[in-house]
């Protein structure tokens, strides 16, 4: 890409956009924390593995690691189990 601000290359722009989309989708392996309130967590999260109370409390306090991503749904592993929720409800820490 040229540094000239008046020179626009559509091909380079498309490459830049596709690269930035790939970076946003690379949430797998990242440590995430809850973006919403604690009360809302029990409504939006689905516990996949482990005791629901312990898993949700552990995620609220310590966060977790994203192990899988299917569309907007992420699977998050904590010390006490796994939960699934929409990626819009978490923030990368």
Range from 10-14, 70-74, 78-82, 83-87 carrying the lowest mean pLDDT: 10-14
Report the side by side order of strands in the sheet with 73-77: 46-49, 82-86, 73-77, 64-70, 31-34, 90-92
pTM score above 0.75: no
Query: How large a percentage of the chain has pLDDT more than 90?
Result: 45
Where are the domains positioned within the chain? 27-92
Mention every residue, 6+ apart, whose C-beta is less than 8 A from residue 36: 44, 89
């Amino acid at each position: 890409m040229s540094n000239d601000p008046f020179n626009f290359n559509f091909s380079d722009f498309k490459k830049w956009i596709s690269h930035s989309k790939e970076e946003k989708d690379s949430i797998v392996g990242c440590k995430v924390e809850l973006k919403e309130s604690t009360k809302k967590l029990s409504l939006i999260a689905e516990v996949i593995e482990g005791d629901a109370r312990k898993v949700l409390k552990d995620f609220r306090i310590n966060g977790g690691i994203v192990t899988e991503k299917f569309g907007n749904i992420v699977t998050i592993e904590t010390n006490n189990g796994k939960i699934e929720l929409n990626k819009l409800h978490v923030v990368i820490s």
